[in-house]
Chains A and B, each alone.
Chain A
Amino acid sequence: MDLGLSKPVRAIKALAPPFGLRGFGPADVVILALVAGAAGAVVVFAREFEAPFLQAVQIDLRAAAVPKYTLYSLMRGVLALSVSFLFALLFGYAAARSRAAERLLLPVLDILQSIPVLGFLPGLVLGLVALFPYRNVGLELAAIVMIFTAQAWNLALSFYNSLKSLPDSLRDASKMAGWSPARRFRELELPAAAQGLVWNGMLSMAGGWFFLMVNEAFRLGDRDYRLPGIGSYMSVALDQRNVTAMGQAILAMVVMIVAVDQLLWRPLARLPRRAAVLRRRAYRSALRAAGPLQRPLQRPLQFARPVLTLHRRVAFGHPAVVGTGVAALVVAVLAGGGWGLWHLVLLLRQLGPRDWGRLAGASGLTFARVMAAVALSTAWALPVGVLIGRSPRVSQALQPVIQVVASFPAPMLFPIVILSLERVGIGLGIGAVALMVLSGQWYILFNVISAVSAVPEQLKDATAVFRLPALATWRALYVPAAFPALVTGWVTAAGGAWNGSIVAEYIEAGGTLQTTTGLGSLISVATARANYPLLAGGITLMSLIVVGWNRFVWRQMMRLAQSRYTLAQ
């Protein structure tokens, strides 16, 4: 019972499974073609423009400059988030309103959120820099596009799900009341979706910081594509081994995360309820002020109303209009995909057997690293998650701490981790696994905590009364109860690790470039040496491995989890 007395407690929630449980169908063939098409398009885009050498950005390491760089980073993050929200609203509407759009857009989203988009980063940066050779516009655009790809998909899915789960009776009631579509959006659909959007917005922002830090500190071979921001500040501090500056950068990042949480998400979480109250008050005072004017103002509006509503119905509601729009969209997407695919094929034909051998070897290594990272993350996050989730008091107390730590963009710390591992004699080949763990572990921890804290008290009592030994209690109760959430965590963590491989296998640490064999470094090296066929092969292969593994392995596990290991009886 919420009396508005207790502060809204944001418990740790589980992630939604990142894809549906559909079987493999003809749609998937189209989708795979689209992915390949996108890969081809990016590479062609990069190749078309001979990327110039940009003047490396000058970073001022003095403490007084930190706020400026933090603000730059914040602006990029918030700008991308606004674009993502806009995209989410458009996508959600399109997919929820039109059956045809739904059938096309959902699978596309499925893919978009599971492919490792960081693989596209080098190509994208090169292409955009070439478009705007004299200023930072291209780099800024690349940064925002990359953050967008980290933020948009789960927001879009969340809004779509909220629209879909709105009870028909509510929709009917609003229609009977004669609400306009705009009012329905403002007072019905947006409030109903608000909670999901806020929660997913928080997750998106964390993902966005990750990508932004990579972007701001991006270097390719001897070319420097760094952008002024907290990410490049950190990377320069690392180059110069300036420990004070490193500390300042990390502190600034933490402050920014906490501030965004307190000043953006917390007020937003309460907004839908507050908005109604504020509006009512404003309306009342406006009426009082405009008392004498009220009638003459209302008249013309009343006359205009039928015209306005009729117009709207003709313009947007007509099936023919909707049908044409959807058809145009489908054709555009397919045509774009087809064009990209054609170019991809042309590029891939240039690869010889030796190149394919290299690609296969690199894929195998990176795949092994990703799986090792998932296993290592599970090894610590599963037991710790159970211990935390078991006690409501502990999970309540730790929640804000975990949230900040989990939002902290791991790439900022990669060079530090690599240098410390080097000191104990661990090279990048193994060290990259540690970086991938940093990229994905929190998803597993979050999901396990949320699943375990949902275990009913009486089930815990039952295992206690029947004196199940500790190990047996974990085996019989906590691990199975956490399993469905654990699988979802694995999917997301593996996705994070694949993304992480781009930065983990090809990393600037302590002023020197370090690389280790793998698909992630292959993509970066190929871009740096302008070996476009190899770049295309790398991106395509990575996307196909991730998508294939999702379809054929994670999905099977999810089916098992949902059929056997759900707590709902």
Chain B
Amino acid sequence: MIDQVLLEARQVSQRFRQPNGQVLEALRNVSLAVRTQEVVALVGPSGCGKSTLLRLLAGLARPAAGAVFYRGQPLDGILASAAMVFQSFALLPWFTVTENVGMGLEARGMAGAARRDAVARAINLVGLDGFEHAYPRELSGGMKQRVGFARALAVAPEILLMDEPFGALDPLTAENLRSQVVDLWRDPATGVNTLIVVTHSVEEAVFLASRIVVFGTNPGHIREELANPLPYPRRERSPEFEQMVERLHAILTATLLPEPEPQPASAPQRLVPFPRVHVAEVTGLLDHLLTRPDGRGEVFHLAEDLGVDYDRMTAVTRAAEQLGWVVTPGETVQLTAAGREVMSGDDAARKAATRARLRQHPLFARVLAMLKEELEEGAEPAEVEDEDVVSDLTIHFPFIPAEQLFATIIEWGRYAEVLDHDPTAGRVTLMEGA
């Protein structure tokens, strides 16, 4: 039965309505076929819709367009042959370990001795013997997630869906638990033959997956797929493993930090969203680059050195790049002369340099132009309603939560002393002298 398509998403799209009325498209035209015996990892930046796709595959939500198929049959309701493991564990606090593990057995019509056996077996598989009568609040994070796995394994699922299962655990516990997951998958006694895991960690994806699917954002879509033929069990320090990690790094960098398209100098600048990063993060990156030889480093190494995930790191890098303080040839982040200059000045000089850059940035320039227009019409002080700015942003960036982008614009505008904001009145104002 090898290579049979087990679970398939065909051209699925998904949309969500934000509290402010904006409709965000989380996924557009995504197709993914998962075969038996596969371990598929879904990776990508936050907001790329990978968790949304997992929920669609589980039948927890219906796609706005397209359909999900299980063994060729359209999925209607919850996927019965699957079980799921959650990042937040999702255990019932008033149930003991045994009761939590037995949660899925009622729907399978198991009761009495059969039920007790299934629960005991699952508890034994994840090494929770002795904790049967404990309540979740008495367990550590790692132990709680073992209960999460036991609950999933108790129903002997064909497919195991995992939504960042190690995301809430400390690194030591996560490493220990993920090698056990591979063992469980290879153990025929569990009945699990297919895994789909959403993850934020490149190493985790390479360690677990036989196929890695890379997502891009705005709206969420599949960028690239990478087969991972390394034999199980995998050794994390082996050269082949490192090589695979580097390849995935390269793909993710190309997704997250795309090379600029060549543009004729005369063409008007395209409106690009500013990444949702704080001022201190960008100066922190520049500071760190100054300490490195030649002021450069690879984005994944920078992320590791600074202790942030690659998603955040690339966002910070993109912001610095938009301001002209770094360039990103390939996977390298290189400090520019302008970047060095801004870091050599005092606080006032930094603000002045940021101000000059923001005025040229198409997005900030647009907001400033809105305010200047008010000024020319004789309004004193020049001010615009928040709602006008946000709805303008919604039109230009339908895939980005406009309120978050707005908050970023305000933070940077205040730092550079060009914009001010009165949250009570709901107005953006031009700062004096700006």
- On A, residues with C-beta under 8 Å from B are 1-6, 270, 273-274, 277, 456, 458-459, 461-469, 472, 476-477, 480, 564-569
Contact = CB atoms under 8 A, between A and B. Distances in A.
B93 A569 contact: yes
Nearest to A9: B19
Interface in B64-91: 78, 80, 82-84, 86-91
A1 B20 CA distance: 12
A462 B407 contact: no
A277 B90 contact: no
A4 B423 contact: yes
Given A3-B423, A468-B107, A456 B90 contact: yes
Contacts of B390: 5
Interface string B414-431: 000000001111100000
A468 B404 CA distance: 37
Contacts of B403: 1, 3, 5
B374 interface: no
Select the residue from B88, B91, B151 with max chain A CB neighbours within 10 A: B88
Interface of B: 19-20, 55, 58, 60, 78, 80, 82-84, 86-95, 103-104, 106-107, 136-137, 144, 151, 155, 161, 386-387, 390, 403-404, 406-407, 422-426
Given A461-B55, A462-B86, A569-B136, A274 B424 contact: yes
B103 A476 contact: yes
Contact of B106 (A270, A468, A565): A468
Contacts of A480: 92, 94
Contacts of B106: 468-469, 472
B151 A466 contact: yes
Nearest to B91: A569
A120 B89 CA distance: 53
Contact of A569 (B78, B83, B137): B137
Nearest to A566: B93
Contacts of A273: 423-424
Contact of B90 (A1, A462, A468, A566): A462
Contacts of B94: 480, 564-565
A366 to B, nearest CB: 34
A3 B407 CA distance: 7
B56 to A, nearest CB: 12
Contacts of A569: 89, 91, 93, 136-137, 144
29 contacts: A3-B386, A4-B426, A6-B19, A458-B87, A458-B90, A459-B92, A461-B84, A462-B90, A464-B60, A465-B58, A465-B78, A465-B84, A465-B161, A466-B83, A466-B155, A467-B78, A467-B80, A467-B104, A468-B104, A468-B106, A468-B107, A472-B106, A480-B92, A566-B93, A567-B93, A568-B93, A569-B93, A569-B137, A569-B144
B387 A5 contact: yes
B161 to A, nearest CB: 8
B107 A467 contact: yes
B92 A477 contact: yes
A489 B78 CA distance: 35
Contacts of A274: 424
B272 to A, nearest CB: 22
Select the residue from B82, B94, B155 with max chain A CB neighbours within 10 A: B94
Select the residue from A465, A568, A569 with max chain B CB neighbours within 10 A: A465
Contact of B103 (A5, A456, A468, A564): A468
Nearest to A275: B424
Contacts of A277: 422, 424-425
A4 B387 CA distance: 10
A461 B91 CA distance: 11
A277 B427 CA distance: 13
Contacts of B422: 4, 277
B423 A462 contact: no
Contacts of A5: 20, 386-387, 390, 403, 406, 426
Given A3-B423, A4-B423, A456-B90, A466 B386 contact: no
A498 B58 CA distance: 50
A270 B423 CA distance: 11
Given A1-B403, A461-B55, A467-B107, 8 more contacts: A1-B404, A5-B390, A270-B424, A459-B90, A464-B78, A465-B83, A565-B93, A569-B136
B18 to A, nearest CB: 10
Nearest to B87: A458
B88 A456 contact: yes
Contacts of A462: 84, 86, 90-91, 103
* 10 cross-chain pairs, A with B, having the tightest CB-CB distances, nearest first: A4-B423, A466-B104, A467-B107, A462-B90, A458-B90, A465-B84, A458-B86, A458-B88, A480-B94, A466-B103
A456 B84 CA distance: 16
A251 to B, nearest CB: 33
Select the residue from A458, A469, A472 with max chain B CB neighbours within 10 A: A458
Contacts of A270: 424
Nearest to A5: B386
A542 to B, nearest CB: 35
Contacts of B95: 476
A458 B95 CA distance: 16
Contacts of A568: 93
A466 B105 CA distance: 8
Contacts of B60: 461, 464-465
A270 B90 CA distance: 36
Contacts of A566: 93
Nearest to A4: B423
Select the residue from B58, B103, B137, B403 with max chain A CB neighbours within 10 A: B103
Contacts of B404: 1
Contacts of B80: 467
Nearest to A270: B424
Nearest to B107: A467
A3 B91 CA distance: 34
Nearest to B21: A6
B115 to A, nearest CB: 13
